[in-house]
């Protein structure tokens, strides 16, 4: 092994092996962090473009502008960029994680599985424009017109003479200002990079441990900060005594910040040990009497009262008309925490008149704005570097941990790294809101005639991740989205919501509200199919006219014809989709879940997933996302239950909030379409389909409908 990082680390250890621990801080800075500090490669002769640096040796450094939280954007978006750049994949030197920069990188907020949707235009246009600039540079050399040259795999060829120039040879001649006008992009038939299972570009560093996550950031004189926060949401510090805490060796300062009491020390253990010794009197506030059981009971009651109508078509009064049958089904869902593997953290270095931040954030641009506000700096004076992030699932779209770190950093001339413990992370999350739902549906001639969906939950608006939507009515859509639209052709349709404000921080979590609204919808659809004695897929097909959706369902149906279930197995299906009123945002998926009864309980054995999320960019990356979605769904259905008692979260760590472990992994059989439509990500878009499919399979096995989570096995006779 002669990896340079390992070499430098060994050397560093040798040099410092006999000195005391505290002298070590900062020495590793140059070796470990030069790459991130001097991210702007100013190598002579290299051409700097918005998304890449073209080196004279013909290699290319790509800058990943969107949050890499495991979903593989560093790889898939590089594929999009390389396709229209017409570069050879072998030219790829490295992909560096980017920084917040709206003028250079466009929209960077990484939520809603929209990275491929955005990059399908942005990255491909940048690739095509650089390709044009390279052809123009070659034309200048050869004194030819554009029609007399062509590119192929990183080379510009002179069609008259057969001579060629590599992109690298043109790096010092090429113009780097991108043309403004949109260019024509490659047609799917000529794709050579899109649709290929390129291995992840971050593989090596993620297996040898050199990948830099937020928590791994190291800087000169870096100190570690922790914060004691009020256990009750909405509470404040009334007074505190730090006498004992300050005695812990290594503690630098203890002081109040808006979110609690900050302890800054040389290392994490010192800081967390001191935090335990703080004597804090909290002003807990009104929320200190609230428990999730009572909240849920209240939400359930609200379903009996008329709510705010957020969507209506036809005449919902027809729900009461005496047609063949009516079905009403209630659902309730608990709070869910994200529990990313890497707890929240943020490193801030406030200098004179400027600031540099390193953060595992899904929302670097809003983080930049929020930090600038706290630090009273112009946005341009705040650089937010994106690190790798140990999972995101929507949690890192929030700016709370960045704002908190900025308040702490204000006190210091040296950098500080705010670290959250696992307990902090679970107890101060932006939870998927608990909610109660009711669907009432009237059938006519075996078709859905009238449909009413009611959702009672917390308002997400005050905590919306997007600064633009925070505190506005549109900030609430992520609390009920999915209940307000349907591909099923329903004449008379209505959505009502009850949204309560509370100091409990709630927000988006992988799949957002669709995770629970589609759960309810697809469970009811399954029940309706059963009531009219129809096949679950046939029943859905009979109510849908969207061609892409029909194909997805039919593909699943064809595959299911060959599936033979064992005696201890049951199968359930569900369908998922979203389609924006206009624009390319749409996807369609269908899942069949096979569960098996083992000696002790039910186990999700296998998923058959059929999907059309547009053009597939990286088939193996897509499969990885589906496999991961399956495990995430199992965690949410069978493991996690976050509960509130006396205004505080009762769970604290993985022991009392268990998640799926290796024995609960699920086999995945993936059926993709050959769609060449505008692509959508998949990472979060399957929760609302996989989960009801599993629930419907459990119904087949037990005869009981799953109407609340986590699944209560004792009530299923398991």
Residues 657-696 binding other proteins (CB under 8 A) are 659-668
Cβ distance to other proteins smaller for residue 273 or 461: 273
Please identify which residue in 343, 481, 572, 681 interacts with other proteins, judged by CB under 8 A.
Answer: 343
Q: Are 701 and 636 in contact (CB under 8 A)?
A: no
Among the candidate windows 35-43, 252-260, 386-394, 688-696, which touches other proteins by CB under 8 A? 386-394
Least distance in angstroms from the C-beta of 632 to other proteins = 6
Q: Are 89 and 185 in contact (CB under 8 A)?
A: no
Does position 96 interact with other proteins (CB under 8 A)? The reply is: no
Least distance in angstroms from the C-beta of 270 to other proteins = 8
Cβ distance to other proteins smaller for residue 132 or 337: 337
Among the candidate windows 3-11, 124-132, 328-336, 476-484, which touches other proteins by CB under 8 A? 3-11
Given its phi and psi angles, is residue 58 left (phi above 0), alpha (psi -120 to 50 degrees) or beta?
Answer: left
Least distance in angstroms from the C-beta of 48 to other proteins = 28
Least distance in angstroms from the C-beta of 594 to other proteins = 15
Does position 81 interact with other proteins (CB under 8 A)? The reply is: no
Cβ distance to other proteins smaller for residue 143 or 655: 655
Does position 19 interact with other proteins (CB under 8 A)? The reply is: yes
Edge to edge, what strands does the sheet with 325-333 contain?
308-313, 492-500, 447-458, 435-444, 325-333
CA–CA separation, 423 and 436 (whole Å): 27
CA–CA separation, 20 and 24 (whole Å): 7
Least distance in angstroms from the C-beta of 653 to other proteins = 5
Does position 228 interact with other proteins (CB under 8 A)? The reply is: no
Does position 545 interact with other proteins (CB under 8 A)? The reply is: no
CA–CA separation, 191 and 630 (whole Å): 30
Cβ distance to other proteins smaller for residue 342 or 522: 342
SS3 for 162-208 is: CCEEECHHHCCCCCCCCCCCCCCCCCHHHCCCCCCCCCCCCHHHHHH
Please identify which residue in 295, 389, 497, 594 interacts with other proteins, judged by CB under 8 A.
Answer: 389
- Which residues are bridge partners to 437 per DSSP? 331, 455
DSSP states of 487-507 as a string?
A: SS--SEEEEEEEEE--SS-B-
DSSP, collapsed to helix, strand or coil, labels residue 528 as: helix
Length of the chain: 718
Does position 70 interact with other proteins (CB under 8 A)? The reply is: yes
452 phi and psi angles, rounded to 5 deg: -125, 130
* DSSP-derived pairing of the beta strands 602-612 and 667-672: parallel
- Torsion of Cα atoms, 629 then 631 then 633 then 639, to 10°: -150
Among the candidate windows 85-93, 105-113, 153-161, 417-425, which touches other proteins by CB under 8 A? 417-425
Chain residues 447-486 in contact with other proteins, contact rule CB under 8 A: none
The token pair at 80 is: 């999009």
Does position 490 interact with other proteins (CB under 8 A)? The reply is: no
Alpha-carbon Rg for the chain, nearest whole angstrom, is: 27
* DSSP-derived pairing of the beta strands 354-359 and 382-386: parallel
DSSP states of 624-642 as a string?
A: HHHHHHHHHHHHHHHT--B
Cβ distance to other proteins smaller for residue 341 or 563: 341
Nearest to 510 by CA among 64, 71, 65: 71
Cβ distance to other proteins smaller for residue 389 or 506: 389
Least distance in angstroms from the C-beta of 14 to other proteins = 6
Cβ distance to other proteins smaller for residue 226 or 382: 226
Bond prior to 26 in cis (omega within 30° of 0): no
The token pair at 112 is: 């809603």
Least distance in angstroms from the C-beta of 539 to other proteins = 30
Tell me how far apart the terminal alpha carbons of the chain are, to the nearest angstrom: 51
Least distance in angstroms from the C-beta of 211 to other proteins = 5
Cβ distance to other proteins smaller for residue 293 or 665: 665
Cβ distance to other proteins smaller for residue 422 or 705: 422
Chain residues 562-581 in contact with other proteins, contact rule CB under 8 A: none
Least distance in angstroms from the C-beta of 422 to other proteins = 4
Judge residue 547's burial from the number of C-beta atoms within 10 Å of its C-beta, 0-12 exposed, 13-18 middle, 19 or more buried: exposed
- Which residues are bridge partners to 356 per DSSP? 349, 383
Chain residues 508-537 in contact with other proteins, contact rule CB under 8 A: none
Does position 32 interact with other proteins (CB under 8 A)? The reply is: yes
Among the candidate windows 252-260, 323-331, 418-426, 455-463, which touches other proteins by CB under 8 A? 418-426
CA–CA separation, 590 and 97 (whole Å): 34
In the shown chain, the binding pattern of residues 174 to 213 toward other proteins, with x for contact by CB under 8 A and - for none, equals -----------------------x-xx-xxxxxxxxxxxx
Q: Are 217 and 31 in contact (CB under 8 A)?
A: no
Least distance in angstroms from the C-beta of 495 to other proteins = 32
Least distance in angstroms from the C-beta of 426 to other proteins = 10
Does position 446 interact with other proteins (CB under 8 A)? The reply is: no
Does position 92 interact with other proteins (CB under 8 A)? The reply is: no
498 phi and psi angles, rounded to 5 deg: -120, 120
How many residues contact other proteins, by CB under 8 A?
87
Does position 153 interact with other proteins (CB under 8 A)? The reply is: no
Among the candidate windows 118-126, 144-152, 333-341, 570-578, which touches other proteins by CB under 8 A? 333-341
DSSP, collapsed to helix, strand or coil, labels residue 255 as: strand
Please identify which residue in 134, 224, 499, 637 interacts with other proteins, judged by CB under 8 A.
Answer: 224
Q: Are 626 and 72 in contact (CB under 8 A)?
A: no
Least distance in angstroms from the C-beta of 434 to other proteins = 21
Among the candidate windows 137-145, 152-160, 283-291, 653-661, which touches other proteins by CB under 8 A? 653-661
Cβ distance to other proteins smaller for residue 352 or 663: 663
Chain residues 589-648 in contact with other proteins, contact rule CB under 8 A: 620-621, 624, 627-632, 635
Does position 388 interact with other proteins (CB under 8 A)? The reply is: yes
- Torsion of Cα atoms, 557 then 561 then 563 then 569, to 10°: 70
Q: Are 337 and 447 in contact (CB under 8 A)?
A: no
Does position 4 interact with other proteins (CB under 8 A)? The reply is: no
Least distance in angstroms from the C-beta of 278 to other proteins = 18
SS3 for 555-571 is: HHHHHHCCCCCCCCEEE
Which residues lie below 8 Å from residue 270, measured CB to CB, with a gap of 6+? 224, 248, 249, 250, 251
The token pair at 446 is: 């075996």
Least distance in angstroms from the C-beta of 370 to other proteins = 24
Does position 422 interact with other proteins (CB under 8 A)? The reply is: yes
Least distance in angstroms from the C-beta of 20 to other proteins = 5
Chain residues 240-279 in contact with other proteins, contact rule CB under 8 A: 249, 266-270, 273
């Amino acid at each position: 092994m002669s990896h340079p990082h390992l070499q430098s680390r060994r050397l560093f250890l040798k040099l410092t092996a006999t000195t005391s621990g505290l002298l070590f801080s900062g020495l590793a800075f140059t070796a470990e962090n030069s790459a991130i500090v001097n991210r702007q490669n100013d190598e002579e002769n290299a051409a700097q473009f918005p998304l890449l640096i073209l080196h004279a040796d013909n290699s290319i450094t790509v800058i990943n502008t969107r949050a890499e939280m495991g979903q593989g954007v560093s790889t898939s978006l590089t594929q999009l960029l390389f396709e229209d750049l017409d570069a050879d994949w072998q030219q790829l030197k490295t992909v560096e994680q980017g920084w917040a920069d709206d003028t250079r990188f466009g929209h960077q907020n990484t939520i809603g599985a929209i990275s491929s949707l955005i990059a399908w235009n942005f990255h491909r246009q940048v690739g095509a424009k650089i390709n044009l600039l390279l052809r123009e540079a070659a034309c200048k050399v050869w004194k030819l017109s554009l029609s007399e040259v062509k590119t192929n795999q990183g080379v510009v060829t002179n069609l008259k003479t057969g001579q060629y120039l590599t992109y690298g040879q043109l790096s010092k001649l090429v113009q780097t200002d991108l043309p403004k006008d949109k260019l024509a992009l490659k047609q799917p038939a000529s794709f050579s990079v899109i649709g290929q299972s390129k291995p992840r570009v971050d593989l090596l560093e993620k297996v040898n441990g050199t990948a830099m996550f937020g928590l791994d950031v190291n800087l000169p004189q870096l100190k570690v900060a922790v914060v004691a926060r009020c256990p009750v949401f909405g509470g404040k510090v009334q007074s505190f005594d730090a006498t004992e805490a300050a005695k812990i060796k290594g503690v630098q300062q203890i002081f109040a910040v808006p979110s609690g009491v900050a302890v800054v020390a040389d290392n994490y253990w010192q800081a967390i040990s001191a935090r335990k010794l703080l004597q804090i009197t909290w002003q807990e506030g009104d929320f200190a009497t609230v428990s999730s059981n009572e909240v849920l009971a209240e939400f359930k009651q609200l379903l009996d009262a008329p709510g705010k109508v957020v969507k209506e078509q036809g005449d919902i009064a027809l729900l009461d008309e005496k047609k063949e049958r009516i079905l009403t089904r209630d659902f309730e869902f608990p709070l869910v925490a994200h529990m990313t593997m890497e707890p929240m953290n943020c490193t801030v270095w406030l200098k004179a008149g400027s600031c540099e931040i390193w953060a595992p954030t899904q929302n670097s641009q809003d983080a930049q704005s929020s930090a600038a506000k706290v630090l009273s700096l112009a946005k341009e004076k705040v650089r937010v570097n994106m690190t790798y992030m140990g999972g995101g699932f929507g949690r890192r779209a929030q700016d709370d941990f960045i704002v908190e770190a900025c308040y702490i950093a204000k006190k210091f001339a040296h950098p500080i790294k705010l670290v959250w413990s696992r307990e902090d992370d679970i107890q101060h999350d932006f939870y998927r809101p608990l909610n109660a739902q009711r669907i009432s549906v009237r059938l006519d001639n075996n078709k859905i005639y009238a449909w009413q969906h009611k959702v009672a939950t917390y308002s997400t608006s005050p905590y919306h991740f997007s600064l633009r939507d925070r505190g506005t009515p549109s900030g609430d859509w992520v609390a009920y989205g999915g209940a307000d639209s349907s591909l099923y052709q329903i004449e008379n349709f209505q959505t009502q919501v009850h949204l309560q404000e509370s100091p409990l921080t709630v927000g988006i979590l992988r799949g957002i509200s669709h995770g629970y609204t589609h759960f309810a919808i697809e469970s009811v659809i399954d029940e309706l199919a059963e009531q009219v004695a129809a096949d679950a897929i046939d029943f859905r097909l009979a109510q849908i006219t969207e061609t892409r959706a029909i194909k997805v369902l039919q593909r699943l149906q064809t595959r299911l014809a060959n599936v033979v279930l064992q005696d201890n197995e049951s199968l359930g299906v569900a369908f998922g989709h979203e389609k924006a009123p206009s624009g390319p945002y749409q996807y369609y998926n269908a899942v069949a879940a096979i569960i098996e009864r083992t000696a002790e309980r039910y186990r999700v054995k296998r998923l058959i997933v059929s999907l059309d999320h547009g053009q597939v960019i990286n088939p193996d990356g897509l499969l990885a996302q589906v496999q991961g979605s399956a495990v995430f769904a199992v965690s949410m259905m069978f493991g996690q239950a976050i509960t509130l008692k006396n205004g505080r979260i009762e769970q604290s760590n993985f022991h009392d909030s268990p998640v799926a472990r290796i024995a609960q992994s699920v086999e995945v059989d993936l059926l993709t379409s050959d769609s060449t439509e505008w692509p959508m990500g998949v990472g979060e878009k399957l929760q609302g389909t996989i989960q009801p499919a599993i629930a419907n399979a459990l119904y087949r096995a037990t005869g009981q409908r799953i109407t609340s989570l986590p699944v209560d096995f004792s009530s299923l006779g398991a």
